[in-house]
Amino acid sequence: MSIRRLPEHLVNRIAAGEVVERPASALKELVENAIDAGATRIAIALSDGGLARIEVSDDGCGMAPAEIALALERHATSKLPDDAIEDVATLGFRGEALPSIASVSRLTIESRVRGADGWLRTVDNGAVVAEGPAAIPPGTRIRMEGLFDRVPARRKFLRSPRAEYAACMDAIRRLAMARPDIGFSLEHDGRRALSVPPGEDRAVRVAALTDRALVENSVAIDYARGDVTLCGVAGLPTFNRGVADHQFLFVNGRPVKDRLLVGAVRGAYQDMLARDRHPVVALFVDLPGSEVDVNVHPAKTEVRFRDPGLVRGLIVGGLRAALDAAGHRSAQSASPAALGTWRSEPLGSPAPTGGPVHGGWPAPPLAPAQGSVWDRAPAFAAQPLARAEPAYAAPPEPKEFPLGVARGQVAATYIVAESADGLVLVDQHAAHERLVLERMRRAMADGGVAAQTLLLPEVVELDESACDRLEARIPELAEMGLELERFGPHAVLVRAVPALLGGSDAKGLVTDLADELAAFGEVLSLKERLDSVAATMACHGSVRAGRILSVAEMNALLREMEVTPHSGQCNHGRPTWIKLDHADIEKLFGRK
């Protein structure tokens, strides 16, 4: 078979296969053109998820008739005034999008430059079918209809209208986050699905496009290293999702899906979230154009950094610094669903009046049909007695501390504290687990965790492969205060445990560490592996649910939480404390 030059229409269709994968990719290219044209408002209309119609209208600079014809030719663009492609500052620059879209759909372009008449040009699958004057306001309106109608081999691989609409919405959401100075609106089958005004604050725009609760459950990022800056918002670890679709990453204002950036986010949160949970972030990296290559993917969704280590360190360091500054904050607002589970119950029958009940507590006389808390106690039941402790000093005022002062304990698991503005409930095991982990991390940073030698070394029997994995990690575990020694083919000897853990179960600790190393030891870096091991140790050394604490112990736990970073969530990403504001409590009792 001889080599031949491909015809123009076939070249365009091949190029369309790289640029136009689905309606969302075509919509992305059209909206990027509108942004590059200097638009302040962009309106999008979709039909059948973009399969039937996509229309994008903007108030940008517009195009003259000759420019419209030139824009439909391959590799024609106004965004590269010279040959310095590395200095490109616009979202688009290839000059392939419009001719590629026009080769696989019916594309109509209407545009008007301010002070001139409007013009229209329609191209149907590569052939010009209409051209003439158009009555439109200054700006451009592009309508794409029947994507891949004449390319059935591509059409059959498109998904359902609902799935394509979701992809279109995701593309617009990311572009709208990148440019809070521009107003966006999107209609789907005549229904308004998205509308954000121009000139919004970046944090407000991100929350409007993701979750309104993000404003109260996030930290601001503002970090820099040399010429590279990082800004944006990052959700608290307790404000997480089951999938990673709420991670929005931008490089020089361009939405990207880059493995390096995603890995850096995961590394920053890795010891604060369970492995199947994902943070909510919107991060904006800005750096000189010479330090990043945006011309590595046809759809411009991937980038390549000249110094990837610097960018990764910037993201991990920036996120860590912001989350450390958040201290004990947690996504702790009581949800309406949780408040709805609280309910008042009808009062019982009046107890006999005038006589004593079991336990020697007399029941006061009641007026007819009068309700009382005494109604809830049957005549044969003893009255509940609170735990009394000697008061060596006056209890502190709740307003002095963010997490309040301890007032009691529920189910030997939850600490009840009173703060100046509400009621605080603390999961004592989850909170102490985080505190122990942070102590271990500080001790490791200072040279190692102190070990407590066992009076009688304990033998832990395991299978041979588990013993091999532990033996390979003996030096690292020793730095964390856990001293092990191989004791035959199927056992290890525990000679010392971390002093921070107190009297922990050595056998359970070593067994869990062996399982941890089996699951993640080969894929995690050394730092991540040690953090994972430290988290497992902290879980074994923390105060267990079911242990009764004194008031002094409860207050000591609250005070340490207030000064410990990340104490708002345990090592698995669950909240360690929640708060019921006074307003929430008043709602429960019908006062509001």
Asked whether the beta carbons of 164 and 158 are under 8 A apart, the reply is yes
Q: CA distances (Å), 88 to each of 53, 179, 292, in order?
A: 31, 17, 11
Q: How far apart are CA 238 and CA 215, in angstroms?
A: 14
Q: How far apart are CA 377 and CA 209, in angstroms?
A: 52
Q: How far apart are CA 164 and CA 122, in angstroms?
A: 25
Q: CA distances (Å), 103 to each of 12, 20, 300, in order?
A: 6, 10, 20
Q: How far apart are CA 511 and CA 469, in angstroms?
A: 11
Query: 345 CB contacts (<8 Å, ≥6 apart)?
Result: none
Instruction: Read off the pTM.
Output: 0.67
Place of tokens 């044209």: 37
Most confident of 87-91, 177-181, 322-326, 430-434: 177-181
From the list 295, 226, 286, 296, the residue with the least C-alpha distance to 84 is: 295
Query: 387 CB contacts (<8 Å, ≥6 apart)?
Result: 408
- pLDDT tens-digit readout, 432-466: 888 888 887 787 777 777 888 988 899 999 888 78
pLDDT value at residue 396: 63
- Of the ranges 60-64, 333-337, 397-401, 574-578, which one carries the lowest mean pLDDT score? 333-337
- Of the ranges 244-253, 323-332, 476-485, which one carries the lowest mean pLDDT score? 323-332
Q: How far apart are CA 158 and CA 155, in angstroms?
A: 6
- Structural element, H or E, at residue 423: strand 422-427
Say whether pLDDT at 326 is over 80: no
DSSP state of 86: G
- pLDDT tens-digit readout, 264-297: 998 888 778 877 788 999 999 999 988 888 877 6
The burial class, CB within 10 Å (0-12 / 13-18 / 19+), for 170 is middle
Q: What is the mean pLDDT of residues 4-21?
A: 72
Q: How far apart are CA 92 and CA 79, in angstroms?
A: 7
- pLDDT tens-digit readout, 340-352: 555 554 544 444 4
Asked whether the beta carbons of 491 and 511 are under 8 A apart, the reply is no
pLDDT value at residue 52: 95
Q: How far apart are CA 166 and CA 188, in angstroms?
A: 11
Query: 238 CB contacts (<8 Å, ≥6 apart)?
Result: 217, 330, 331, 332, 568, 569, 573, 574, 575
> Residue 143, CB half-sphere, CA atoms under 13 Å: how many?
11
Q: How far apart are CA 251 and CA 521, in angstroms?
A: 32
> Residue 437, CB half-sphere, CA atoms under 13 Å: how many?
26
Say whether pLDDT at 57 is over 50: yes
Q: Could you give the percent of the chain with pLDDT greater than 70?
A: 78
From the list 288, 305, 203, the residue with the least C-alpha distance to 252 is: 288
Query: 371 CB contacts (<8 Å, ≥6 apart)?
Result: 347
**Type of residue at 228:** V
Place of tokens 């109604």: 375
Phi and psi at residue 167, in whole multiples of 5°? -65, -40
Q: What is the mean pLDDT of residues 551-555?
A: 88
Pair of tokens at residue 550: 């004194």
Asked whether the beta carbons of 376 and 365 are under 8 A apart, the reply is no
Arithmetic mean of pLDDT over the chain = 81
Say whether pLDDT at 364 is over 50: no
Percent helix, strand, coil in the chain, to 5, is 35, 25, 40
Asked whether the beta carbons of 346 and 585 are under 8 A apart, the reply is no
pLDDT value at residue 442: 82
Asked whether the beta carbons of 242 and 276 are under 8 A apart, the reply is yes
3-state helix/strand/coil string of 227-279: CEEEEEEEECCCCEECCCCCEEEEECCEEECCHHHHHHHHHHHCCCCCCCCEE
Q: How far apart are CA 334 and CA 332, in angstroms?
A: 6
pLDDT value at residue 13: 65
pLDDT value at residue 195: 95
- Structural element, H or E, at residue 509: helix 506-520
Asked whether the beta carbons of 147 and 107 are under 8 A apart, the reply is no
